[in-house]
Amino acid sequence: MPKIGIIIDGNRIEVEQGTTILDTAKERGIYIPTLCYHESLEPYAACRLCTVEVSRGGRSKMVTACNYPLREEIEVKTDSERVRRIRRTIVELLLASCPNVKIIRDLAKEMDIEEPRFKKEENDCILCGLCVRACSEIVGVEAISFVGRGVDREVDTPFRVTSEACICCGSCAYVCPTGAIEIEDKDGVREIKKFHASQPLERCKVCSNYFAPRVQIDWMTKKLNLPRENFEVCPTCKP
């Protein structure tokens, strides 16, 4: 890829054309906060926390760093007064919506926000979409999605009923930044209460401990075109 020159936080550097601002910043140790970004998923720019200031030809605008590709010579400010003000407002809104979520409280503390100016609610989901994208892009089953509109928008299964597509793999919980999705393995069954999903667990052929949903093992066997016995031993007992 051809390289272009940009200025980021006052320093001129060369980057590969098409690289995002966020990736460029990360490579150079420049901190940009994110909540909806994951390196294994396509950028979504839902949380807006990665907002930075971009200038070219005497004009500046605010853009999200995670999905802004560098295609021309520009100046990027990742920590200007304008950027800090916008991020602070975003975190204040998130703190009002999810006052008991640790990662939100930590961000608020980082920005010296003690109490939000806005009315408090009791949510734990910030609609970042990481769980939806992981289910679709990585797992490939699309068991969950955004449902509802406006203030009623949330993540759930289609029509809010038990999804036959869910394999209870736990990818949604793994990428969730707020802990809104909890998994419980009990009495040989894995349950994801938020999405009305439960599946029986497989026992390890060596230690007899439950370790993965049977339907997940069947899915992996089919997707990877490998014998089922390759997935019948838990990670602890695998040689």
Distance of CA 116 to the CA centre of its chain: 24
pLDDT in tens, 111-123: 999 999 999 999 9
Query: Does the CA dihedral 233-237-179-23 come out positive or negative?
Result: negative
Task: Report the pLDDT value the prediction gives residue 63, as an integer from 0 to 100.
Answer: 98
Q: SS3 string of 26-57?
A: HHCCCCCCCCCCCCCCCCCCCCCCCEEEEEEC
Beta-carbon contacts of residue 11 (< 8 Å; ≥ 6 apart): none
Would you state the pLDDT for residue 151? 86
The pLDDT, as a whole number, for residue 96 is: 97
Q: For residue 54, what are the CA distances in angstroms to 7, 11, 44, 65, 203?
A: 10, 14, 19, 10, 54
- Alpha helices (runs of H) in 130-178, residue ranges in sequence order: 130-133, 171-175
Let me know how long the chain is.
239
Contact yes or no for 216/230 (Cβ under 8 A): no
**pLDDT value of position 205:** 95
Measured between alpha carbons, how far is 72 from 3 in angstroms, rounded to an integer?
Answer: 10
pLDDT of residue 124: 96
Tens-level pLDDT at each residue, the chain (239 residues): 789 999 999 999 999 999 999 999 999 999 999 999 999 999 999 999 999 999 999 999 999 999 999 999 999 999 999 999 999 999 999 999 999 999 999 999 999 999 999 999 999 999 999 999 999 999 999 999 999 999 899 999 988 888 889 999 999 999 999 999 999 999 999 999 899 899 999 999 999 999 999 999 999 999 999 999 999 999 999 98
**How far is CA 86 from each of CA 34, 62, 94, 165, 215, rounded to the nearest angstrom?**
13, 9, 12, 39, 45
Bridge pairing between strands 197-203 and 75-77: unpaired
